[in-house]
Structure 1
Amino acid sequence: MNFDLPEETREMCDMVVRFASRDLQTSDTFDADDFRRRWQLAGKQGIVGASVPSAYGGSGLDAVATAAVMEALGYGCRDTGFAFSAAAHLFAAVMPIVEFGTEEQKHRLLPGLSSGEHIAAHCVTEPEAGSNALQLQTRATRSGEHYLLNGSKCFTTNAPVADVFVVQAATTPGGGFFGLTTFLVAAGTPGLTVGQRYDKLGLRGSPMADVYFDQCAVPVTDVLDGEGSGAGIFATSMRWERTCLFAAYLGAMKRVLDSTIDHVRQREQFGTPIGGFQSVSHRVVDMMARHESARLMLYKAAQGLADGRDDEIGPALAKIMVSEAAVQLGLDAVQLRGALGVLGGEAETLLRDAVPSRILSGTNEIQKNNAARALGLGSRAAARR
């Protein structure tokens, strides 16, 4: 086992950290024009198309190198919401086109999505279908050379700024795994409406909104991988998202851990730096152990993804480990800053941004279900016994 990234990857990550620290900072107030400006800059650096093959305008990185880029983005960009949006765009929306799209779809869509010219959103969650993704109420009915989409989606990352929507809809209601189909829908298509941007606890730099479909006509040529393949596409995209997206949290955690160490070295009480108190130093070591453990788990999952392994357990465990570590590290960072921790700053920002990580991309409880099912511990196996 080699735990060191190749020198070329390390140099690339150093560049991303410098770029993000210099060009991707923003205020806590969301501004759509500024978001688009920073997105285009990130596109020029190859970030929003990191794992897209170079033949379609991307950087052509494998899953390990892509995770490293996202980790560097999370470290350099204090706006974790922006990093989250970039990762959701790439892994939940763009990679399905890379892996399942026709050559026409790839050549038409991927260059703009990789360069930063266009932004993608993945529409799957519904008011009555969050964890239970196979029970979607959004319907797609074939009508000649089009499908008519009707229904609504909620909690859609990037919806207020998206140019392309990757939409999951039921073509065979009640059809289970083969009842869903994936559609590529351009912004501005008649019948597609985006609601108001949400105000959120955390990830405030990531725009999110509801999306509505009312007789929205989508050409048959914009179906991804054929009717009935939506659940398989969704499962593949989630392996990318649950692994590489959460690398951005590793970077944010490391940034806050570094600043926390600096703080406890400099802050004095009772005539000595508080880092010299055992209760403080042990808490810092616990923070480091959580971060390092989660990082190892994530990169193991990324290596499996790069090797093409059909592994459901690795991404699930990585998502759980990183998100739980991020929440606890945020709590510790706030505690070690005392009253300063509850004021505006990167410690309380990390904590706010970390709380959604246990819910988005499939709750941690669902990840445990996924891992248990892969181990043969599902309800059907129990019933047979």
Structure 2
Amino acid sequence: MTVSVRSQLQADARRFAAARCNSGLEQLDREQAFNRAGWTAAAEHGLLGMRVPVALGGTARPLGEQLEILLGFGEGCEDNGLILALGAHVWACQSALLDYASDDLKAAVLPGLARGHVIASHAVSEPGAGSDVSNMATRARTTASGYVLDGDKTWVTNAPIAGLHVVFASTDPSAGSRGLSAFVVPAASSGVRVTTIEKMGLCTAQMGSIELREVEVPSRNRLGEEGQGFTILQHCMAWERAFLLAPMLGSMTRVMRRCVEQARRRRQFGQAIGEFDSVSNLIVEMRMRVELGRALLDKVAAQAATGRAFHELASMLKLHISEAWQQTCVDAVQLHGARGFTRELGLERELRDAVGGRIFSGTSEIQRRIIAQLMGVRR
């Protein structure tokens, strides 16, 4: 892909997002409401179907093109919650379906997901088991026609608005993580109850808990083989951790540009504040974080495109972008002084959103643990 093509993909997505995805954001944030108009616009622009084959309603764009579009989308879309909702739908849920669902199940659910008519959630975490999936308490017992699921899931992005849930449950509790299986559970199934969780940031991304009580699931809705759930989960998490935060490099660029404008316009002691090292150095660090993140993103994408494992690089990228995003927003608030601390500029919202990046899809501490394990430093 040429530089001009990359730039054009980013520019088109940036203009589209700025024009279609930011309306009423302050009110949506205050009310913790889903940006339905933004979601519909993203679907119409093709963002929800970029990974899906054309025959199943998608556009099947190469990974490199997908990432350029997401970088531009992240810069133009100020609704970071919408970006998270879109990412969970695409990178966690669609990855599971594309690579592990039967052909019949793909044909039944992927067209709706690609067109945005159906929203998906990825239900892994539980009240007593977050990253420690070996202690998962949700059970799936076999029946003559399939399975019956019982358990509780929490911290599930998109749960309150989802039409289907990708649910992980234990089919063999004695086997620990090797006894997990994955299922597609329609949200309207009898025995499924969802409650909404309010958050400090990413407020437009709807998060919830899912209660599963005697939920019947046919065998055709199982993903992969019975007991393959942990493999499926690792696969989905690699894709999610690698690319869920890619648009936030665009968000960081947007915040950085606001800081450059402030540094040029704001004057103190007879000169623009950008002339002070303490200010210009902050902005230089912002630029370096973005450029280093982009270099690592390209490295991960190149490895993923060849089909090679990229778990370690995915954790590195997730760790870098999440911490860089938060620090950039902290510095932006500081650079704008008292006004940065007000709701007026929206920077406090950017900061509240960024805090979540170090928590969801595995905390920064978990990413460091994974990297150390894959390096052979620890067991």
Write the distance in 2 (CA, Å) between the matches of 1:169 and 1:33: 30
Give the counterpart of 2:12 among 6, 10, 15: 15
What does residue 373 of structure 1 align with?
Answer: 373
| Paired amino acid for 1:11 | Q
Describe the shift of the 1:53–1:335 C-alpha distance in structure 2 as closer, same or farther (beyond 3 A): same
| Paired amino acid for 1:129 | A
CA contact (8 A) 1:56 1:111 kept: yes
Describe the shift of the 1:334–1:293 C-alpha distance in structure 2 as closer, same or farther (beyond 3 A): same
CA contact (8 A) 1:330 1:350 kept: yes
Write the distance in 1 (CA, Å) between the matches of 2:232 and 2:368: 21
What does residue 104 of structure 2 align with?
Answer: 104
- Secondary structure at the counterpart of residue 182 of structure 1: strand
Structure 2 residue 341 is the aligned partner of structure 1 residue 311: no
Write the distance in 1 (CA, Å) between the matches of 2:176 and 2:34: 41
TM-superposed deviation, 1:377: 2.4
Structure 2 residue 168 is the aligned partner of structure 1 residue 171: no
What does residue 299 of structure 2 align with?
Answer: 300
Write the distance in 2 (CA, Å) between the matches of 1:19 and 1:209: 29
Write the distance in 2 (CA, Å) between the matches of 1:270 and 1:6: 42
CA contact (8 A) 1:169 1:181 kept: yes
| Paired amino acid for 2:372 | A
What does residue 57 of structure 2 align with?
Answer: 57
Describe the shift of the 1:174–1:330 C-alpha distance in structure 2 as closer, same or farther (beyond 3 A): farther
TM-superposed deviation, 1:53: 2.2
| Paired amino acid for 1:19 | F
Write the distance in 2 (CA, Å) between the matches of 1:29 and 1:243: 31
TM-superposed deviation, 1:239: 1.1
- Secondary structure at the counterpart of residue 167 of structure 1: strand
Alignment TM-score, normalising by the size of structure 1: 0.94
Q: Which deviations, in whole Å up to 9, do the C-alpha atoms of 1:299-350 show, x marking residues without a partner?
A: 2112211221112211010011101101110111011000011011332222
Write the distance in 2 (CA, Å) between the matches of 1:238 and 1:269: 48
Describe the shift of the 1:103–1:21 C-alpha distance in structure 2 as closer, same or farther (beyond 3 A): same
Structure 2 residue 41 is the aligned partner of structure 1 residue 41: yes
Describe the shift of the 1:110–1:9 C-alpha distance in structure 2 as closer, same or farther (beyond 3 A): farther
What does residue 24 of structure 1 align with?
Answer: 21
Write the distance in 1 (CA, Å) between the matches of 2:34 and 2:236: 28
TM-superposed deviation, 1:11: 2.2
- Secondary structure at the counterpart of residue 183 of structure 2: strand
How many equivalent residue pairs?
A: 375
Describe the shift of the 1:106–1:176 C-alpha distance in structure 2 as closer, same or farther (beyond 3 A): same
| Paired amino acid for 1:217 | E
Q: Which segment is superposed worse, 122-131 or 23-32?
A: 23-32
**1:65-214 matches, cutoff 5 A:** 65-195=65-195, 197-214=196-213
Q: Which segment is superposed worse, 132-141 or 59-68?
A: 59-68
CA contact (8 A) 1:155 1:209 kept: yes
Alignment TM-score, normalising by the size of structure 2: 0.95
What does residue 240 of structure 1 align with?
Answer: 239
TM-superposed deviation, 1:29: 3.8
Q: Which segment is superposed worse, 277-286 or 252-261?
A: 277-286
List alignment gaps of at least 5 residues for structure 2: none
What does residue 383 of structure 1 align with?
Answer: none
CA contact (8 A) 1:261 1:284 kept: yes
List alignment gaps of at least 5 residues for structure 1: 380-385
Q: Which deviations, in whole Å up to 9, do the C-alpha atoms of 1:20-42 show, x marking residues without a partner?
A: 10111132344798633332221
Describe the shift of the 1:102–1:6 C-alpha distance in structure 2 as closer, same or farther (beyond 3 A): farther
Write the distance in 2 (CA, Å) between the matches of 1:139 and 1:341: 48
CA contact (8 A) 1:256 1:346 kept: no
**1:244-259 matches, cutoff 5 A:** 244-259=243-258
CA contact (8 A) 2:14 2:75 kept: yes
- Secondary structure at the counterpart of residue 169 of structure 2: strand
- Secondary structure at the counterpart of residue 151 of structure 1: strand
Q: Which segment is superposed worse, 246-255 or 339-348?
A: 339-348
CA contact (8 A) 1:28 1:205 kept: no
Write the distance in 1 (CA, Å) between the matches of 2:20 and 2:127: 37
CA contact (8 A) 2:46 2:115 kept: yes
Write the distance in 2 (CA, Å) between the matches of 1:290 and 1:32: 30
Write the distance in 2 (CA, Å) between the matches of 1:352 and 1:199: 13
**1:279-358 matches, cutoff 5 A:** 279-344=278-343, 345-358=345-358
Q: Which deviations, in whole Å up to 9, do the C-alpha atoms of 1:85-125 show, x marking residues without a partner?
A: 00110011111101111111111111110011111000001
| Paired amino acid for 1:88 | A
CA contact (8 A) 1:41 1:116 kept: no
Write the distance in 2 (CA, Å) between the matches of 1:70 and 1:145: 41
CA contact (8 A) 1:105 1:222 kept: yes
* Root mean square deviation, CA, Å: 1.6
